[in-house]
Structure formats: structure tokens, C-alpha cells
Chains A and B, each alone.
Chain A
Amino acid sequence: MSRKPLAALAAVTLGLAAGQATADEIRVGVVAPFSGPFALYGTQFRQAIEAWQATHGTRAGDHEISFVYKDSGGVNPDLARSLSQELVIRDRVDVLAGYVFTPNALSVAQLATQSETPVVIFNAATSAINAESPFFLRTSYTLPQVSAPLADWAYAQGIRSVVTTVADYGPGIDAETAFSEAFTARGGAVTDTIRMPLSTTDFAPFLQSVRATGPEAVFVFLPGGPPTFAYAKAYAENGLKEAGITFLGTAETEESNLQALGDGALGLHTAYHYSAAHDSDANRAFLAAVEGLGDDAAPVNWASVGAWDGADLIYRMVEAAGADGRAAIEAALGAEWESPRGPVRMDPESRTLVQNVYIREVTRNPQTGLLENAETGIIATVGDLGWKD
């Protein structure tokens, strides 16, 4: 609180030099990877925002909204923080958004609290982030939110023994813990927990050992990209499907990799909060808006929908509260709307969306001939199950 006069002073002294926004222009700073191996996230964020502005205009209430983009590269909290600081102090943004990686999001906690700037996280999925600042809001999901319902669903399908295989890093271990706890609480047995090196793409040894153990299902969590692809391929090639071992995943069949997986991916089960094949008018409008951007539109997946809903939330906040950070957060808490993923609500406590988790199966769409995640039912409507105050 004692920082507020300082911020006001800085605003007055720096305003002239820094090309200040016009009185009713609200600026939003987006910090995300726009270069390097994770540039796809940035592209998807930007396209979702552009699609949102193309269909909903650039005004929210009495305010004009504009977006400024900053490239944070990969995991780089120092850079993410200094870019965010620059956005708040020099570019005079009223809202920060983006943030793909947990450390990058964590690095702006103090800045957000001191400057009372709302931060809308489009992706970073570790539960603990939101506890670090009351100005954090999240429009993606958290790992326990999808892993635990998947365990419940597997048990309801009659599956009693599971081997978990996760990448050996923070999010992988979170997913393993959430799944194991939920599954054993029901009465199922986790017969083995395998942690695989983060950088490996040779999963044959791990999957052969899973096959030898002979569980009824295998749970997997891997970061997106080449590992996912290699894992799904190894699952098919090592005959786990024939051996009757059900595949239980989350983001492994996400849309930007899905077509490359080929027929080997058919029949894979995943639990997740968004599929581009979701059957609703809101989703069709979203897909049409992104396609309307032209030929270089990137595949739409959960990252795109996180940014789209983030833009939606930012418009609501600005319309209700303009540049007032505290009032904007108040306006956001409890907000409900129809997202491309289904109905969502901003949980006032964990500040993460309460949303449907769907069980999906990879099928080939008879019309387009493309693979898609066909949703076969809602297995839970939950908020952040990993939230601890």
C-alpha cells in the first residue's frame, strides 16, 4: 500500500516522456515466448487475441483496449520480470497477461501486488502460483484439475490397477501425485510409478516394463512436443493396446501434434478441459474467428483457448472497472461465461476457472479425414483441486 504514492509520482514524472496512453485507453501487456522452441505458444496467444479483437472490436464499455507483446523466450524469470516491470512502468499497461512457464509467472508476483496490476495467466498450470499474489487470475487449468477426475473415471470404468509414467520434473510429479492419490482413495492400486528423463524420446524400455507388469491401464504425463509424439508411437509399437492396457493421458493428444501421430493414436483416452472438436456454437465461432486470420493461422489448442478466454475476461474487467486494478479483480471473481470449452466460472477463492473436464477418445473425423479428440462425456465440473490456502 505504501508503494501507491510512489507509483503515482512515477506516473506523473514519467508520463510525458513515456508516450502515455490516452485517458480512456487501456493497455494490456502480453509476456510470452515469441522466439525459440516455444514460439508456438506466443503465436497462438497473439492469434487468439487478434481473433477476439476482430470479432468483438477494440472497445470494452467506454474504454479502448490495445495489446503490447513482449518476448520472454523460454523459462527465464529474470527476463519475464524485467519485461513485465517495463510494461507496467514505461508502457503504463493496466493489465499483464500471457505467461507460459511457472517460474516466469511466479517472478511477477511481487510486482503485481505492489503495483496492483491484475495478471491474467493464459497457461502456467502449477496450482501454487495463484497463492503468491491476490492479483493473479488464471484462464488455463491446473494439473490436479484434470488428473484426479481421470483417476475417478478410470476406476468407474472398472480399471483397478494402473502404472503411472511421467516425465521427471515438477509438473510430471504433480500429475503423478494427483492421479495416484485420487486413484488409491477410490480403492484402486498403483502398481508401479515410473519417472522418465525429461529429455528422452526413447520410451520403448519403459513401455516394455509396463507391459511386463501387466496393469489394466497406464497413466502418462509428458510435456508437449516430441516426447508426446514418441510416447504415443511407442505405445502403439510395443503392443500395449493389444495387451489390453488402456492409455490414460491428458494433453498428449493436443491438436498441434495430433495429425502427426497418425493411426497409432486412434482410441487413446485423455481427460482434458478443451478439445477443438467441442460441439458448441461458442467453439465454432472461436474456430471461425481464428481461421478468419488467414493462411498462417496456427492449430487451435488449449493455449489458444486460454488466451481467448483471457481476452474475454480482460474485456469484462475493463468494462466494469477501467484502470482500477483492485476493482478489476473484484469484477473478475465469480464471473461466468460460455467459453469455447463449455461453461466456465472464475472461482473467487483459487482465481482459476471452474470448468468441465471431458473424457475424450481420438477418432478420425469422417468428413475432414483428420484426427480429432472426440468428447464422449463430462467426467467432472471442478475448480483447482490442488488449491491450498
Chain B
Amino acid sequence: MKRALPFILLLAGTAAMYLLMPYNLAFATRILVMGIFVLSIDLVLGFAGIATLGQAAMYGAGAYAAALFAAHAWAEPVAGLAVGAAAGAVVALLSGLVLMRASGLTLIMLTIAVAALLAETANRARDLTGGADGLRVAFGPVLGLWEFDFIGQTGFCYAAAVGACVLGLLALVARSPFGLSLRGLQSSPARMAAIGAPVYPRRVAAYTLGGAIAGIAGALSAQVAGLVSLETFSFTLSAEALVMLILGGTGRLWGALLGTVLFMFAHHYAAAADPFNWLFAIGALVMVVVFVLPGGLLSLPGALKGGRHD
């Protein structure tokens, strides 16, 4: 029962968003998409300890792949998600084969470089991607049944369903032997190697899985917005998602979701209240959380009980 509690809370939260913000489903949908993206970083960074600031490479690859697939092959969104996931996984696998041999600052720099290379490639391939103008694509109805409407009901329900699948998958991965070995890698790669765990293949596998999930998030954002731009590869996106993860607490799936919701709401309401100076509020929020709760919001109950930080 205790295991299921967070899932029930999450379901209730999603339903509440739908019912309480019926006029604001576009925003609620962005939270869901961002949540999936932050989960992918949580898997890579929080679980496997792979420091990355270039997760947007896979997000953008997924977005462009889904859009191009819809434009030239089949406009059905769920098939597009699969294509997006495959594109994210392929980019992560190919770059991961090189990147996972590096660590620390080198690794961070290389992840940023991969995203920048892809952004420039998409910029150059104007005939295919529309370059800086972006690529506008009309997606068909989800599973041939539900058309995307401008109020955003279809988009929201679709994103919620995809989010639930991704979360369920990651919850399984986190408790599997594979997930546990990733945690081991994060704590001490040397000891993992000593007990015979294949460090490098595991890291590549984790990076690839994270890439597939980021690709799903990217594809979803393309489908909901009907447009892909070069910004899907941007450093800002990777960095903002990382801030969300740190706010919530790394290494836990709930932390990723909590951080995303908190950041997006703070951003939305601060920007609505004062569109000119809202960045102050975000800066203050991040500083308070990082100073007072270095383990993120999820460490709040522990900190209140007196001490356990992780």
C-alpha cells in the first residue's frame, strides 16, 4: 500500500490539474512534457551518475525525427513517439560510445558539444528542417481517434498517458538489478568494476535508455506544439531541466517530478504577475532551496525529522 501511495497522489495531482486548470491545459501539458524530460536526466545523472548538460541533444533529435516522420511518412502521433524514442536512443548510443569513456568536466563539455553539433547540423539542413524558421507539421489524430484541439484537452490527456507509461517503466527500471547496478556505478565505479560489473556497457546502456526517454519528451513537445525549432537543442533547455532536477532532488523519480512542477509553476506565476522582472523570483527560489535543502525538496521530510541527508 505504501508503495502505491505516490502513484495515487500523482494520479490525483494530474486529475486535479485537468479539473482546476481547464483554461490552462497548454501550460499543464508543458509541465508533463518537461517532467518526462527531467525524468530522463534523472535516470542518466541521478541514477547512473553520468554528468550531462547536453540532454537536449536527444530531446531535439526526438522532436525533429517525429516531425519529419509525420511530414513525410505517417502523421499518427503514437508512431511518431516510437520514431522519436528511436532517434533519441540512436543519438545517445552513438555519442555514448565515445562519451561514456570520459568523466567529470570532460564529459560535461562533450555532452554540450554533441548538442551544439546537432543544433548546427539542423540549422544547415534548411531544406529538411526549416533552419531558424522552425519546422511546422500538422499531426493527425492520436490513434486515429482524438484530434488535437486548440483548448488542449487531447494534448493534455495524451501527454499524461505517455508520462504515466514512462514513469511506470522507470519505476520498474529503478527496482531492477540493472537499476541497482546503476546506483552502484554512481557511488563507486571502481568497486563496481572490482565485483565484476561491466562499467562501460552499463553506462552506455543507461545513457541510451535516457536518450530514448528524452526523445519521447521531444517528440511529444513537437506533437503538442505542432512545431519544432532549433531551440530544442539549446543549452538553456538542458540547463533549466537540470535546475528542476536539483530543486526536486536527484536520484529519485519523485524528485524529478516535484522539481519540474515547482519550477514550472514558479516560472509561470512569477512571469504572469510581473512579465518584466520575474527572473528575480526564480533566482531567489533556486538559491533558497540549494542553500537550505542541498538534497532537494524531497529531503525536506528527512531534514525536518533531524538530519538524514542524501
Contacts and interface: CB of A to CB of B under 8 A. Distances in A.
B275 to A, nearest CB: 4
Contact of B134 (A82, A83, A103, A115): A103
A39 B274 CA distance: 13
Given A18-B23, A110-B138, A75 B231 contact: yes
Contacts of B24: 86, 89-90
Contacts of B33: 78
B150 A109 contact: no
B131 A86 contact: no
Given A75-B229, A102-B134, A107-B227, A89 B221 contact: no
A17 B19 CA distance: 12
B274 to A, nearest CB: 9
A77 interface: yes
B230 to A, nearest CB: 7
A18 B276 CA distance: 23
A170 B278 contact: no
Contact of B225 (A6, A81, A126, A170): A81
B150 A3 contact: yes
A103 B150 contact: no
Contacts of A88: 150
B26 interface: yes
B271 A71 contact: yes
A69 B179 CA distance: 46
Interface string A70-85: 1100111111011101
Among the interface residues A7, A17, A39, A77, which one has the most CB atoms of the partner chain B within 10 A? A77
Query: Interface residue tally of chain A, by bracket?
Result: 35 or more
Nearest to A129: B133
Interface string A104-138: 00110111001100000000001010001000000
Kindly name the residue among A13, A69, A85 whose own CB sees the greatest number of chain B CB atoms within 10 A.
A85
B123 interface: yes
Contacts of B134: 77, 102-103, 106-107
Contact of B150 (A34, A70, A71, A110): A110
Given A17-B23, A70-B272, A71-B271, A78 B30 contact: yes
B27 interface: yes
Nearest to B228: A77
Q: Which of B33, B272, B278 has the most CB of A within 10 A?
A: B272
Contact of A34 (B123, B151, B275): B275
A131 B262 CA distance: 38
A35 B279 contact: yes
A77 B229 contact: yes
B26 A86 contact: yes
A3 B27 contact: no
Given A85-B150, A102-B133, A171-B132, A77 B272 contact: no
B226 interface: yes
A170 B231 contact: no
A201 B26 CA distance: 38
B227 A81 contact: yes
Contact of B149 (A3, A34, A109, A170): A3
A337 interface: no
Nearest to A132: B136
Contacts of B225: 77-78, 81-82, 107
Interface in B191-221: 221
A103 B277 CA distance: 24
Interface string B18-43: 00001111110110010000000000
Q: Report whether over half of chain B's contact residues are helix, strand or loop; otherwise say mixed.
A: helix
A109 B123 CA distance: 22
Contacts of B130: 170
A106 B227 contact: yes
B152 interface: yes
Contact of B27 (A77, A86, A103, A173): A86
Contacts of B133: 102-103, 106, 126, 128, 170
Contacts of B131: 169-170, 173
Contacts of B138: 110
A370 interface: no
Contacts of B29: 82
A185 interface: no
A78 B221 contact: yes
A14 interface: yes
Contacts of A132: 136
Interface string B264-276: 0000000110011
Interface in A9-39: 10, 13-14, 17-18, 34-35, 39
A3 B130 CA distance: 29
B126 interface: yes
B226 A110 contact: yes
Contacts of A74: 231
Nearest to B272: A70
B123 A71 contact: no
A114 B149 contact: yes
A79 B30 contact: yes
A32 to B, nearest CB: 9
A115 B150 contact: yes
A111 to B, nearest CB: 5
Contact of B226 (A70, A71, A107): A107
Given A17-B23, A82-B30, A107-B226, A35 B132 contact: no
The 10 closest A-B pairs by CB, nearest first: A103-B134, A90-B23, A82-B26, A170-B132, A85-B26, A71-B275, A103-B229, A114-B150, A34-B275, A170-B131
29 contacts: A10-B23, A10-B151, A13-B22, A14-B22, A18-B23, A35-B276, A35-B277, A70-B271, A71-B271, A75-B132, A75-B229, A75-B230, A83-B26, A85-B25, A86-B23, A86-B27, A89-B150, A90-B24, A102-B132, A102-B134, A103-B132, A106-B227, A109-B226, A110-B226, A111-B150, A114-B150, A132-B136, A169-B131, A170-B130
Interface of B: 22-27, 29-30, 33, 123, 126, 130-134, 136, 138, 148-152, 221, 224-231, 271-272, 275-279
Given A14-B22, A78-B30, 18 more contacts: A6-B149, A14-B23, A34-B275, A35-B277, A35-B279, A75-B231, A77-B229, A79-B30, A85-B152, A86-B23, A89-B150, A106-B133, A106-B227, A107-B226, A114-B150, A128-B133, A169-B132, A173-B131
